[in-house]
Structure 1
Amino acid sequence: MCLEPARIRDAFKYVNTAVSILVFVVGILGNVALLKIISANKSMRSGPNILIGSLALGDLIHIVIDIPVNTYRLIAEDWPFGLVLCKLVPFVQKTSVGITVLSLCALSVDRYRAVVSWNRIKGLGVSAWTAVEIALIWVVSLTLAVPEVLGFDMITMDYKGRHLRICLLHPMQSSHFMQLYKSGKDWWLFGFYFCMPLLWTAIFYTLMARKMLRKNSEALSDHTKQRRDVAKTVFCLVIVFALCWLPLYLSRILKKTIYDQKDPNRCQLLSVFLVLDYFGINMASLNSCINPIALYLVSIRFKRSFKACLCSWRLPLQAVTRDEAQSVLKSRMQDQASENPHQSLDSHDHTCN
């Protein structure tokens, strides 16, 4: 019996709890602010921005439902929430990841189409096509998460003299489909939820780069340069996604391929995998709150909009100075002056009214 993994679990209880609290607070504030910025301004309701808003909504649902329950389960070890939440929590988590993955794919296509003026959906208006995209993203994400509802169950076991209730993907699945899902789940998640969006982005951004290189940079219009800047912002979101999820998938795949229960050195190897697994879980949790931060860092206009949004929340509580009022007014006038008929993340007034 390996004793070291138990000590690692006890140590990571406090680390995971601290990270979960951080994700919960920052994630709610950041994603709510992002949704407010997009919804409060008509000029912000462009295709890519609405997709980003949909992504933020998926993250917000995951943060509110999953983070508190998973944190309690880690601390208490027992599962007191019943069968419904046992099935709901992994379902919401997989749905949220699916929304993130498919939204990033849709944003990559949208940026390619915008930069190279590829318009094969001319028959549909931007808002109508975006509504179709978002509906498909949510329906597909919900559908792909259904096996979590079917497979997760509660079991009871005795551990150190305690009678524990545990929520997990049941080791004995009744249907042939669920047996296949359980045996191949790690590879399915790695392939579809990690490799696919990276490959998708690489393909469309390579095509976009080839198209852009054919044009002289001095000959590019201001509008094309703005679209290119937005493409860089979307690419940044994809990189953040990859960095956040790579440790967890790497841990699961390595454990699946090289871990042997009969190996005499398995305890040391299991300890390494467990540390990597907990680190990966924390990094994956951070992805739910980091997108608003990434947008704040890479987008000047979003940074100004976020500050204005915080200012609007603060105004009812305290009087704003003349300098602050003039600063906000100047920001709005600059945004209005820079408006053009083509909407994008970095070319419009993002302030919260």
Structure 2
Amino acid sequence: MEMSDWGVTNAENQTVQYCFPNNNLSCTKSIRPESEYIIVYVFVSVTSVFTVFLNLLVIVSISHFKQLHTPTNVLILSLAVADLIAGLILMPVQGMKLIEPCWYFGEIFCSIFPLILYVVVTASLGNLVIISVDRFIAVNDPLRYPLKVTTNRLIVSIVVNWLFSFIYSFYLLYESLLYPERNHSCIGECVLYIRLEYLILDSFVCLVAPCCVIISLYVKICFVANYQAKHFNSVTDKKARSEKKAAKTLGIVVLVYLLCWMPYYLTTLSLGHDENDALLINIMQWIVCMNSLMNPLIYALFYRWFRLSAKYILTLKILEPSSEYFNLFPEEK
């Protein structure tokens, strides 16, 4: 876009330009060095593509291979879908907000984007809570786990989780959805304002309460797994070690998620809405989105089945007949 014809100079000799030069209601913007644009756009592009690619591997793996059709993996699949949406939509737009002072996507998407952001991250948190409950039952009562936790029950839980996430997010953001003109004072601005009481409610619903539930469950999981490892026979001990390893891996997923979320809430509750605060909040929201990249990386580090399935997918072996029956757990042969 050619901008040299419509720039102006302020008292500090800093070039100021308009987001939309042909509109009298356009916002102004300060021009940043070209190197900043290049660095941020390259980083955002690489991170977004990598996030989409890794989560597609998770989705294809769990969907294709029969050995991965387990209740726990259904939850991981739901989490990967949320992370995929984050990589496709949230990370590119949120990345542009870090460097672009103007909003070029229109008034409607300015209202819809926060809703997508809140629905996806709230659904991810709900998935993690359900995963924690699933792992607790698996470790605490492994013999009756197949009866208590079935794929159909977890699918119902996932559907309820996504519906709750949408309703809850709409409740928090309904003012910006119904009155989008409040999101900007000039053309090219998109600022989300949420009442302080809603921020406090959101902090409790999406941080305090889930933390209490998840942490208490994982503390119990550790105690139960250690007890089983000491007192049960070798067969049961092998099962207990397997469940403990799965719980530990998913516990790391939960911990990383909370570490990505906490800075955002601490920032939004303590800051106002001036320009510098808005930039800091955008950075915190980007950190939240980065969690969608971390999850598949954790799977790659701790799950051998993910590394094997990714190898089969990337080498196109999944196109072979009966590839869905490939053994992803060779030690069980």
TM-score, normalized by the shorter chain, greater than 0.5: yes
Secondary structure of the structure 2 residue equivalent to 1:168: coil
1:247, 1:276 within 8 Å by CA — same for their partners in 2?
Answer: no
2:148 corresponds to 1:154? no
Secondary structure of the structure 2 residue equivalent to 1:214: helix
2:320 corresponds to 1:303? no
Give the superposition deviation at 1:86. 1.9
User: What is the match of residue 135 of structure 1?
Assistant: 159
1:112-166 CA distance string (max 9 Å, x none)? 00011178898776121111111111111111111355222235877xxxx5332
One-letter identity of the residue aligned with 1:244: C
Match of 1:193 among 206, 209, 215: 206
TM-score by length of 1: 0.71
Q: Which runs of 5+ in 1 are unaligned?
A: 171-180, 262-269, 317-328, 340-353
2:332 corresponds to 1:338? yes
TM-score by length of 2: 0.75
Give the superposition deviation at 1:110. 0.3
Q: How many residues align?
A: 296
Secondary structure of the structure 1 residue equivalent to 2:181: strand
User: What is the match of residue 296 of structure 2?
Assistant: 292
One-letter identity of the residue aligned with 1:188: L
One-letter identity of the residue aligned with 2:65: N
Q: Distance in 1 between matches of 2:200 and 2:183?
A: 28
2:223 corresponds to 1:232? no
1:151, 1:169 within 8 Å by CA — same for their partners in 2?
Answer: no
CA RMSD of aligned residues (A): 3.6
User: What is the match of residue 351 of structure 1?
Assistant: none
User: Does the C-alpha gap of structure 1 residues 33 and 156 become closer, same or farther in structure 2, counting only changes over 3 Å?
Assistant: closer
1:253-295 CA distance string (max 9 Å, x none)? 3326xx9x9xxxxxxxx96x67754542332221122110111
Q: Distance in 2 between matches of 1:29 and 1:143?
A: 29
Q: Distance in 1 between matches of 2:246 and 2:31?
A: 42
Whose RCO is larger (CA < 8 A, sep 6+)? 1
Q: Distance in 1 between matches of 2:78 and 2:131?
A: 11
User: Does the C-alpha gap of structure 1 residues 226 and 130 become closer, same or farther in structure 2, counting only changes over 3 Å?
Assistant: same
Secondary structure of the structure 1 residue equivalent to 2:141: coil
1:14-69 CA distance string (max 9 Å, x none)? 66534422331111101101000000012212111111110111121232223333
2:296 corresponds to 1:280? no
One-letter identity of the residue aligned with 2:313: C
2:44, 2:91 within 8 Å by CA — same for their partners in 1?
Answer: yes
| Percentage of identical aligned residues | 21
Q: Which runs of 5+ in 2 are unaligned?
A: 1-11, 13-27
Which of 305-314 and 189-198 deviates more? 305-314
